[in-house]
């Protein structure tokens, strides 16, 4: 069984010159004990992924594989085409259908939250998109990993100051690519990416029931 990842920059591997910026996908392998194939790329929407990578991904999906799908960051920037209850949900539904047609398993993820604090609380930034994914997972009876909820908790648990180290914040002169410094509250430092990958891995192990029992078919939601 292989895990195939479809997503945007918060899932993708960054190029070496951007290290230690990283999506969570490159750090998933140690937590799942199964091969991981990561086709996520920066700037991806459900539309652009279907156009440029989806056929490549699906062509290697085999029976009982799992495809993990996380979009939303960039879809919300195209509300006319990719409205949360319109084009966005329609494209996610197509992805799930294509996966199931190959006797494989789909897992939907809500977007990782941005680290935008108002006092001690994180401000939600994805509007209706996380709820659209939650509702679609329930409608299609596929597992859900709620990364919006998890990353909100993670940042709030760390607090406004300590949580900075989970994201790509670099002082002037610290990084060759961002010589003037960077304060990016969307893209992870590898420290944050590893924390999220560990959570995703634990959820995937639960979904697959890697405790000696059979895997569920269209199983219960995982939050």
pLDDT tens digits, 139-171: 999 999 999 999 999 999 999 999 999 999 999
pLDDT of residue 208: 92
Determine the Cα–Cα distance for residues 101 and 58; give it in Å rounded to an integer. Answer: 10
Average pLDDT for 75-91: 98
Percent of the chain, pLDDT > 90? 93
- Tell me the pTM: 0.93
pLDDT of residue 211: 52
Q: Which domains does the chain have, with CATH numbers?
A: 3-208 (3.40.50.1110)
Q: State the Cα angle at 22 between 59 and 131, rounded to 5°.
A: 70
pLDDT tens digits, 56-69: 999 999 999 999 99
Confidence of residue 210 (pLDDT cuts 50, 70, 90): confident
């Amino acid at each position: 069984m292989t895990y195939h990842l479809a997503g945007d920059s918060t899932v993708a591997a960054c190029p070496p010159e951007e290290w230690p910026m990283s999506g969570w996908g490159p750090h998933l392998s140690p937590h799942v004990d199964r091969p991981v194939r990561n086709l996520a790329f920066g700037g991806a929407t459900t539309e652009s992924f279907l156009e440029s990578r989806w056929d490549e991904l699906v062509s290697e999906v085999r029976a009982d594989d799992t495809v993990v799908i996380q979009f939303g960051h960039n879809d919300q920037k195209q509300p006319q085409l990719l409205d949360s209850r319109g084009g966005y949900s329609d494209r996610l539904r197509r992805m799930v259908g294509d996966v199931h047609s190959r006797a494989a398993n789909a897992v939907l993820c809500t977007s990782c939250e941005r680290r935008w604090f108002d006092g001690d609380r994180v401000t939600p930034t994805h509007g209706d998109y996380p709820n659209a994914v939650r509702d679609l997972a329930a409608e299609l009876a596929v597992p859900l990993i709620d990364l919006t909820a998890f990353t909100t908790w993670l940042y709030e648990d760390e607090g406004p100051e300590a949580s900075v180290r989970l994201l790509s914040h670099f002082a002037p002169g610290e990084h060759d690519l961002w010589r003037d410094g960077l304060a990016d509250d969307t893209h992870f430092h590898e420290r944050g990416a590893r924390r999220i990958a560990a959570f995703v891995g634990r959820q995937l192990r639960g979904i697959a029931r890697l405790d000696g029992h059979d895997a569920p078919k269209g199983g219960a939601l995982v939050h």
